[in-house]
Structure 1
Amino acid sequence: MLVDNRVEGDSRVQKIARSAAEAGWDVTLLGRSPDDLERRWQLGDAEVRLLPMPDPLDRRRHEFRRSWLRWPLAYRPGGIAEHRAQWVRAWQADLAVRVALLEQRAGQLSPARLRRARRALRRRETAAGLLGRWVWLRTKMMHRVRSGRKFRNPWDRAYTLFWQALRGDRAWRRLEPGLWDYELAYGPEIDRLRPDLVHAHDFRMLGVGARAKIRAAAQGRRIALVWDAHEFLPGIRPWRDHARWLPAHRAHEREYAPFADAVLTVSPELADLLRREHRLPEPPAVLLNTPAAEHRPTDDAPPPDLRTECGIGADVPLLVYSGAAAPQRGLDTLVDALPRLPGVHVALVVNPALRYVEQLAARAARLGVADRLHVLPYVPHWQVVPFLAGADVGVIPIHRWPNHEIALITKFFEYSHARLPLVVSDVRTMAATVRETGQGEVFRAGDVDDFVRAVTTVLGDPARYLAAYDRPGLLPGWTWRAQAEVLDGVYRRLLPGTGQPATAFAATTDPSRGAIR
């Protein structure tokens, strides 16, 4: 299995690797190391290996150049700015010590000599301060050179169109050469492992897996390639602010999609979009990202209590949001509504270190509701459901982006298994499901007034929404056990006669190291 991250935090990847290993497959999961060290650990019966991945091709040529006309004082790239800034700080630290020593010896010097020494040190401190400002100015200009190119000007659009016209789907090699960094890090290791099947998670790993399949075929070996499409690439908000990112990645995906022997994805609607986009011979199999309680280690400690972590009692109304924190997730709506929801508390189970989360906390402080906003860290994915069950309402305020419209996201299933009434934004698939099941209320995305209405309605009659979970077959269809059977069926269709029969997906005693996103 291939994934372009460090595995920790990617619950879908973790669950798939563990379940495949529990079904009798010999699984090696290759991810990207956060540094230049290879890391290994066990994920149930699956082996995880994080590979170092240098990424020099991910840097654009302009990042190595100076801009003499616009920013003549800018440092040249290569580390000189960091060296000079550190040198100034060292000089200032040395002067601070010399000032302290002088004051200690003040009684041993004549007044005239003491005045001269102090004046000399002040001159040096002034010089160091001026030099620090000079270094800051030149460094700022260097950053302007780097960030000034947004790849959205007419020249860059013409550059993109030129290579698309000249090379078609092969144009990504010019537009996004950093994709080769993944190949150079992962490719040799895949060849060494000589797998029978490669499960490529998402669009970056599709090319790595396809090229491994091509090389194996040239050696007379067959590799079955499974492409697991987590998102619809045309609907992704580009991760970089330039015109080349999306056309390049779409071209890369189109070039290698035909090599997939089977496609998995996260929702029926996305499966239909992928089939039309790539003219697939059959619909992708749908593998929902549902909770996997069976992956809880036998020696695992009890999950923390959500209300205890918030420091509130059982009678306090509590809304919870768990998962990734970003502006498009709509958490601003949640914070802005707090002044109009007296007595209601909010728990954000997110990455507390993100700047966006810090901004949300500052926003709550300005609104006078900081004491009712609780920022909590992630818990392991098998603890998510019992942890969230301490809340009164599960909230999903995401904005209307194309990929938000077409799937039931992970936290939807986690809230459901925690038997929480839901308040969700009106993204298409999730809103339709909530209206059909009666699990909660729908509000207009980004509309604070409508959000307050929905929360007030749910808190006013929670039993009405909780009754939806008694509907026969609802929650059993949203279990990971059912998804693992789909996964194993795909593998066995591609590699008939291999592996052991899938009997039970028992929990192992080895904890995974991941957390929810």
Structure 2
Amino acid sequence: MIVDNRVDGDSRVQKVARSAAEAGWDVTLLGRSPHDVEVTWRLGAAEVRLLPVPDPLDRRRHEFRRSWLRWPLAYRPGGIADYRAHQVRGWQADLTVEAALLEQRARAGDLDGARLRRARRRLRLRSTAARLLARWVWLRTRMMHRVRSGRRFRNPWDRAYTLFWQAVRRDRAWRRLEPGLWDYELAYGPELDRLRPDLIHAHDFRMLGVGARAKIRAAAQGRRVALVWDAHEFLPGLRPWRDHARWLPAHRAHEREYAPHADAVVTVSADLAELLRREHRLPELPSVVLNAPAVEHRPAGAGPPPDVRVECGLGADVPLLVYSGAAAPQRGLTTLVDALPRLPGVHLALVVDPARRHVEELADRAGKLGVADRLHVLPYVKHWQVVPFLAGADVGIIPIHHWPNHEIALITKFFEYAHARLPVVVSDVRTMAATVRETGQGEVFTAGDVTDLVRAVTAVLADPARYRAAYDRPGLLAGWTWAAQAEVLDRVYRRLLPATTDDAIPAPAEGAIR
């Protein structure tokens, strides 16, 4: 299995790897190390290896050049700016020590009045020169950064560049438009060749090409490798991760080039499966593996999971809303914070990555609104702890905005809230809103509308038992379990490797999914 992140925090990747290993498959999961050294650990019976991924190709040509006309004073790239900045700081540190020594000599009476005044005057002149030089270095460094960050790849030249390479190279255009994709190949490719897998499970669009090329190389050596592409999202409906016009066309071209090499496609929803079949003219509809929680992955002997209410320091009678997942503007968290002043006494727990800049912005906003004491930012917990962790809250919130990928799936937190038996309040994105209206497990509000969000939350808090009763419906939660999804995935693997018999695969552990 291959994924372009560090695995920790990606519950789908963790669940897939662990379930496959429990079913008897020999699983090695390759992810991206956040450092320049390899990190290895175990995920149940699966081996996780995080590989260093140097990214020199992820830099653009303009980052290596100077802009003589617009920014003539900018430092050239290559590290000279940092060198000059540290050089000035070293000089200033030296002058500070000289000033201290001069004052010591003055107190000891080693210098007469005239000599002391001259020494102090010279020191002041040198200190002034150092400050001016520091300012000069700062100015040139700032210009250098403007050269690097000023290009947004949305001007007519860049659009023409993108269209030219699309016309000339078609689906191979990503090699010019997004050469950083090769960085993943250079890091993962040799390891895949060394491991000689029978099956490659490629998570999401970046890893599709890495897996396909490994399959092609293996075929040239006379080895058959089956490729499973796990499409987490619909790429044409994705908000670009970078603010330039080349990102989405490049990744779509990359996906189109390598999608035909996939022996099977799995994805997260029926709607997305149909979109993928049309987009890539797939011979069959992708299998659906929902992002359901895996409470059965709790390690043997593990202690009790944490409780969200305890972590917030709240009593049982305090109304508590919870949001669990990524923190980004399109997730609608600003709407949540803005609603707090109109929900007196109600607290909000954000289970997110606290280091994200958007989380800091939300905390600042809460402070300005006078509700900072009712906003609690909590770090992620292990994926098998999520459901019991969230169960202590009163309402699960999903305030996401209208983006194509938000419209077509029941996302991970939806299932986690359901298994925690939380009433939910969701924005009116198509699939989730329709499900909530059909099951009666919560309320729907207009995305981005603070007033309507307040209305929905107030209604749920007024009668939570009515909404929790929806989970008593026979078969509802049973279809939203990871155990059922793992069976789908195992059937896909066994169909692709028909020569693999039960005798060739060790029997799974007791209670594991086959």
- Normalising by structure 2, report the TM-score: 0.96
Letter in 1 for 2:299: P
Letter in 2 for 1:183: E
2-structure distance, mates of 1:382, 1:332: 28
Per mean C-alpha deviation after superposition, the further-off stretch among 111-120 and 443-452 is 111-120
Query: Which of 462, 486, 505 matches 1:500?
Result: 505
Could you give the per-residue CA deviations for residues 156-185 of structure 1, whole angstroms, max 9, x where no partner exists? 111111111111111111111111111111
Deviation for aligned residue 1:114:
3.5
**What residue number does 1:167 align with?**
169
**What residue number does 1:366 align with?**
368
Per mean C-alpha deviation after superposition, the further-off stretch among 68-77 and 130-139 is 130-139
2-structure distance, mates of 1:106, 1:471: 87
- The answer as to whether partners of 1:19 and 1:505 remain within 8 angstroms in 2 is no
Q: Does 1:470 align with 2:472?
A: yes
Letter in 2 for 1:500: I
Query: Which of 413, 420, 442 matches 1:440?
Result: 442
- The answer as to whether partners of 1:290 and 1:413 remain within 8 angstroms in 2 is yes
Deviation for aligned residue 1:502:
6.8
**What residue number does 2:89 align with?**
89
Letter in 1 for 2:125: R
Letter in 2 for 1:264: V
State the secondary structure of the residue aligned to 1:347.
strand
Could you give the per-residue CA deviations for residues 289-331 of structure 1, whole angstroms, max 9, x where no partner exists? 1111111111322222222211211111110111110111111
Trace 1:317-328 onto structure 2 (pairs within 5 A): 317-328=319-330
Letter in 2 for 1:195: P
Trace 1:90-129 onto structure 2 (pairs within 5 A): 90-109=90-109, 110-129=112-131
Deviation for aligned residue 1:99:
2.9
- What is the identity percentage for the equivalent residue pairs of Structure 1 and Structure 2? 84
2-structure distance, mates of 1:101, 1:396: 63
Q: Does 1:311 align with 2:313?
A: yes
Deviation for aligned residue 1:503:
5.5
State the secondary structure of the residue aligned to 2:483.
helix
Q: Does 1:184 align with 2:189?
A: no
**What residue number does 1:341 align with?**
343
2-structure distance, mates of 1:497, 1:472: 39
- The answer as to whether partners of 1:319 and 1:344 remain within 8 angstroms in 2 is yes
**What residue number does 1:264 align with?**
266
- The answer as to whether partners of 1:18 and 1:44 remain within 8 angstroms in 2 is yes
Per mean C-alpha deviation after superposition, the further-off stretch among 88-97 and 465-474 is 88-97
Query: Which of 384, 398, 402 matches 1:396?
Result: 398
State the secondary structure of the residue aligned to 1:121.
helix
State the secondary structure of the residue aligned to 2:173.
helix
Query: Which of 374, 377, 393 matches 1:375?
Result: 377
- The answer as to whether partners of 1:481 and 1:505 remain within 8 angstroms in 2 is no
Letter in 2 for 1:382: W
Letter in 2 for 1:86: H
Query: Which of 142, 145, 149 matches 1:143?
Result: 145
2-structure distance, mates of 1:501, 1:491: 15
Letter in 2 for 1:470: D
- The answer as to whether partners of 1:294 and 1:506 remain within 8 angstroms in 2 is no
Cα pair distance change 1:336/1:193, threshold 3 Å: same
- The answer as to whether partners of 2:399 and 2:447 remain within 8 angstroms in 1 is yes
2-structure distance, mates of 1:267, 1:491: 19
Per mean C-alpha deviation after superposition, the further-off stretch among 411-420 and 307-316 is 307-316
**What residue number does 1:32 align with?**
32
Could you give the per-residue CA deviations for residues 30-80 of structure 1, whole angstroms, max 9, x where no partner exists? 111122211111111111111121111111111100010110000000011
1-structure distance, mates of 2:162, 2:367: 45
Cα pair distance change 1:435/1:67, threshold 3 Å: same
- The answer as to whether partners of 1:22 and 1:506 remain within 8 angstroms in 2 is no
Q: Does 1:21 align with 2:21?
A: yes
**What residue number does 1:511 align with?**
none
Per mean C-alpha deviation after superposition, the further-off stretch among 494-503 and 55-64 is 494-503
Letter in 2 for 1:64: F
Letter in 2 for 1:21: A
**What residue number does 1:513 align with?**
none
**What residue number does 2:70 align with?**
70
Deviation for aligned residue 1:501:
7.5
- The answer as to whether partners of 2:321 and 2:349 remain within 8 angstroms in 1 is yes
Trace 1:47-62 onto structure 2 (pairs within 5 A): 47-62=47-62
Deviation for aligned residue 1:506:
4.6
Deviation for aligned residue 1:230:
0.3
Identify the structure with bigger relative contact order (alpha carbons < 8 Å, sequence gap 6+). 1
State the secondary structure of the residue aligned to 2:406.
helix
Could you give the per-residue CA deviations for residues 95-115 of structure 1, whole angstroms, max 9, x where no partner exists? 233333433443113444433
Cα pair distance change 1:101/1:388, threshold 3 Å: farther
Could you give the per-residue CA deviations for residues 250-302 of structure 1, whole angstroms, max 9, x where no partner exists? 11101110110000000000000000000111110001111111111113222
Cα pair distance change 1:413/1:306, threshold 3 Å: same
2-structure distance, mates of 1:137, 1:52: 34
Query: Which of 274, 294, 299 matches 1:292?
Result: 294
- The answer as to whether partners of 2:23 and 2:512 remain within 8 angstroms in 1 is no
2-structure distance, mates of 1:32, 1:505: 32
- The answer as to whether partners of 1:294 and 1:505 remain within 8 angstroms in 2 is no
Q: Does 1:228 align with 2:220?
A: no
Deviation for aligned residue 1:367:
0.6
**What residue number does 1:429 align with?**
431
- The answer as to whether partners of 1:186 and 1:208 remain within 8 angstroms in 2 is yes
Could you give the per-residue CA deviations for residues 116-161 of structure 1, whole angstroms, max 9, x where no partner exists? 3333332222222211111111011101111121111111111111
Q: Does 1:411 align with 2:416?
A: no
Please give the root-mean-square deviation of Cα atoms over the aligned residues, in Å.
Answer: 1.5
**What residue number does 2:211 align with?**
209
Cα pair distance change 1:72/1:299, threshold 3 Å: same
Moved over 6 A (4+): none
Letter in 1 for 2:304: P
